[in-house]
Chain A
C-alpha cells in the first residue's frame, strides 16, 4: 500500500499555488485596449527595427485571408494589426491554460487507452503496472470537469479561442457558415459531454472491476473487464478522432486534415506511456513496486521509442503531403507555423524524434532508470510543444512566447495532476493480485 508522502503533497500544493499566482498574473497583465497594444507594438518595432515590422505585415496577409483586401493600405494595416495583436494578447493566458489542461488530460486519456489495450490484448507483462495506470487515469474525471468548464466559458465568450463560436465572425465567414451544422455551441458541448462521459465511465467501471477482482474467487470480473475494454476501444477510436477535430482542429476552422485525429492520438499515447514509466520509476525508487523489474521498464521504454517513431511517421505524413501538393487552403496551416513558430515547430522534431531515437535505440540503456527519466522528460516537453504548436498559431498568432502564463499554467495543472494521481495511488494496493496473468507478469523477464 502506497502512502502519499507529505513532501510530495506539499510540493504539489506549492506547484498549484505558484501556478495559480502566475495564471492570475497572466490574466491581469493582458492589455485592456487597442491603444495599449499600439504603444506596445511601437516600442517593440523601435527596438526590432523596420525589418521585423515588414515581416509581421507579410505574414498577416497570408494568415488573415478574410481581411486580405483591407491590408493593402499600409496606414490601415497598422490599425488592423494592432487590433489583431490585441485579440491575440487577450487570448494568450486562455490559450496557455488550454494547452496545459489539454496536455494533462491527454496524458490521462492516453494512459486509459493503453490500459484498455493491455486488457483487451491479454498482455502478460504489464499486469504489475495496472495500478500505476489506474492512478494516472484518476486525473481523467478531474481533467474532464476542468476542460468542460473551460469550454463552457469559451462558449460564453469569455475568450476567443474558438472563433466559430463568435456569431459576428460567423456572419462574415461563409466557410464557417457551411460548417455550422457541426460547429455550433450546443452540439459542441453535447459532443464533449458524451466523449467525456464515455471515457470517465469506462475508467471508473474498470477500476471497480479490478478492485473487485482482487478478492474474488473466480475470474468473472476479469472477463467482464476484458469485454468492456474491447468495447471501450471501439468507442475510443471514434471519439478520439472527433475530439481532436472539435477541440483542436476547429481552432483553425478553415483548415482540415483527415489524418489529424490519429496524429493527436500518437502524441497522446507516447506522452501517456512516458508518464507511466516516470511514475513507475518514482514509485519503484521509493520501494513500493518490488515486483516491477527492469524488464518491465525495458518494455515501457521500447513503447516510448516505438511510439515516438510512430508519431514522427504521422507528423511527416501529414506535413509532407500538404507541403507536396501545396494546395493553398491547406498549406496556410503550415505556412503560419513555419514562418512564426519555426523554432518550436522544428525543435519538437528533435525532442520527439531524434533524441528518443538515439538514446533509446540501445537495449541496455532502456533498462537504466535515469536514461528513461531523462528521455521521458524530453519527450514530455516535446509533446507539450507539439500541442502548443497545434493550438497557439490559431489563437495568439505571432504574439506567442513561452512566458509566465504558459509556465504557470503547466505548473498549476501539473500540481493538480500530481495531487490527484498520487492520492489515487494511495487508495488501493499497488498489485492487482486477482488478475489471471499476474504470475506471468511477476515472473516476466526479457
Chain B
C-alpha cells in the first residue's frame, strides 16, 4: 500500500482517542451484547412483512400469475421493477468494497462490511423475482444448460434473460466469497474474545482457523485485490446485462444504447442511497459514530450527487436523441412519459433523481445527517419509479394503438414487494447482531494514518505517536496508588486471600480480556489465582470496577468468573 504519510489537510476517518483495543471492543460490542427492545420491535415488524410476502408468493404460485395486475400488453411491471431495483441497490456494496479499494479510498473501510452485507441481502431479494414471475416455476431448472432426457434440448444463449441467470448467480457467489474472505480476521477476533463455549465454537467454524500470520495476511491482501479487480467488471456487467433485458428489445423507450452505463450509474446512485439510509441508523444504534463519521456520510452524498448528475445527463440525452432521431414512436414514448397517464410517476422520478441530489452541492446540506437521511430515502423512491416508468410506460403504449392499455398493481404485487423489504430487513437485522459490522482489521490498518488522535499528535509535531498506550500506563499507576484499601480488603474477603508461600500463581493472562498490564494490577490487589477469580459475582465486579477506573465493566462483560472456572479444571 501507499506510504503511511498523510497530508495534514485530510480529515480524520476515526474520531476520538482510539487504540486498537478500543476498535475491537466497540466493533464486538453489538455482537457480544444483548438485543434491546428496539431491535426486537424492528425484527418483529420485518418478520411479519416477510411472512406476508411468503403468503403472497405461495398464493401466486398456487393460483397463477393472473393474481397480479399484469395484462396482455404489460407483461412486466412490479415484478421486474422490483428485480431491477433490488439488483441496483446491491451494486453499491461491491462498488464500495471493490471499486473504492482499487481507487485506494481509505474511507471505504468504515462502511464496506455493511455495504457488502447489503449487496448480498438485496441480491437475494432480487433473485426471487426472476423465479416467482415465471408462469411455471417448477420448470425453472430448464434455464440451466444441463444434459437431460430430452436429447439435445438446450437453452438458447441469445436471450438476455438467460444472461441474467448467469450474471446474477455469478454476482451473488463472487460477492459472497469476497465478503466472507474479508470477514475471516474479524470472525477470528470474535472467536478469540468469545467466552461462552457455544459462541467460541460458532466463530471458530466461521473464521476457518484464521491465525493472522504474515504469510496469511500477504495472501489475504492479494486475494482482496484480485477479487476487487474481478468484481469491478462484474458489477458493471451485471447491471449492464440487466439493462440488456430492455435495451436489446425493439420497444420504443427501451431500445437505446445508453442503457448499459446509465443503468450502472443508476444502480450506484440508488445503492449508495440505501447504504446511507442503513448506516445513518446503524452508527447511532450500534454506537459506531467514531468509525462511520460525518465525513463518510458526506462522501457518500458526493457519490450520490455525481451519479445522480450522470443519471440526469442520461435522461437529457435520451430526451434529446428521441427528438433528434425523428422516429415518431420514440418521440411519442417520451411524450407519453411526460404527459401521459403515468405523468405523475415520471414527474416523481425526475424530481427525486435529478433535482434532489443537486442539493448536495451545498456543504451545509450534505453534512447534515437528517437531510442526508431524507434524501437517501427520496432517491430510492425515485429510483423505484425510474424502473417503473421505463418498464410500464414503454409497454402500455407502443406501436399499435389497439393494444394500448393501463396497468395497476394488485395487493399480491404489493404484498410480494413488501415481503422482500421485510426479508431484507430480517437478514440485515440478524446480520447486525451476529457479524462484526465494521471491518475492524481494515480499520485498524488506517488508525495510525487517519485516526484523529494520531493526526492531532502528528500536527503537534510528534514523531511516532502512541498517545493511548502511554495514557493507560499512567492510569494504571495512579489507580494502584489511589485505590481504597477498604474496597481491596472486602474484595479479598470474599475471593479468599492468596498465600504466595504455599500456592502457585496462575497465569491470569489466559483469561480473555486480561493483558499483562491488567494482570500486574490484579496482582497488586492480591488476586493471583483462577480460584479467586472464579468466585467473582456482580458485587465483586462492582468492587473491582471501583478500584480499576479505566477497565470499568470489562470483567463482567468478559465473564471472568466463568472463564476462570473453565481454566481451573
Contact = CB atoms under 8 A, between A and B. Distances in A.
B236 A321 contact: no
A224 B240 CA distance: 37
Nearest to A249: B324
Interface string A245-270: 10000000000111111100000000
A401 interface: no
Instruction: Report which residue of B7, B233, B316 has the largest number of chain A beta carbons within 10 angstroms of its beta carbon.
Output: B7
Contacts of A354: none
B233 A317 contact: no
A325 B249 contact: yes
Given A313-B236, A314-B261, A321-B255, A437 B7 contact: yes
A219 B249 CA distance: 53
Contact of A317 (B1, B2, B9, B260): B260
A439 B458 CA distance: 15
A34 interface: no
Nearest to B158: A324
Interface stretch (A21-29, A233-241, A283-291): A233-241
B7 A436 contact: yes
Interface in A418-446: 436-437, 439-440, 443-446
Contacts of A439: 5, 7
Given A258-B318, A437-B9, A318 B257 contact: yes
Interface residues of A, number: 41
Contacts of B27: none
B316 to A, nearest CB: 8
Nearest to A178: B326
B143 interface: no
B179 interface: no
A258 B240 contact: no
B250 A327 contact: yes
B321 interface: yes
Contact of B5 (A258, A260, A262, A443): A443
A344 interface: no
B119 interface: no
Contacts of A257: 257, 321
Contacts of A317: 240, 257, 260-261
B94 interface: no
Contacts of B255: 321, 325, 327
Interface string B237-256: 10010001001111000011
Given A258-B317, A445-B2, A219 B244 contact: no
Contact of B324 (A122, A182, A322, A327): A182
A241 B317 contact: yes
A436 B318 contact: no
Interface residues of B, number: 39
B210 to A, nearest CB: 26
Given A258-B257, A317-B240, A124 B7 contact: yes
B247 to A, nearest CB: 5
A317 B241 CA distance: 10
Interface in A84-124: 122, 124
Contacts of A245: 320, 324
A402 interface: no
Contacts of B8: 436
Contacts of A259: 256-258, 260-261
B398 to A, nearest CB: 14
A440 B6 contact: yes
A179 interface: yes
Given A436-B7, A444-B3, A329 B248 contact: no
B261 A256 contact: no
A42 B237 CA distance: 50
Contacts of B261: 259, 262, 313-314, 317
Interface of B: 1-3, 5-10, 102, 233, 236-237, 240, 244, 247-250, 255-261, 309-310, 313-314, 316-318, 320-321, 324-327
Give me the 6 closest cross-chain CB pairs, A-B, nearest first: A258-B258, A259-B257, A317-B260, A436-B9, A324-B248, A443-B3
16 contacts: A124-B7, A175-B326, A178-B326, A179-B326, A241-B317, A245-B324, A258-B317, A262-B261, A314-B260, A314-B261, A321-B244, A325-B249, A436-B7, A440-B3, A440-B5, A445-B2
Interface of A: 122, 124-125, 175, 178-179, 182, 219, 234, 237-238, 241, 245, 256-262, 306, 309, 313-314, 317-318, 320-322, 324-325, 327, 329, 436-437, 439-440, 443-446
Given A258-B256, A321-B256, A329-B327, 4 more contacts: A262-B258, A313-B261, A321-B260, A445-B2
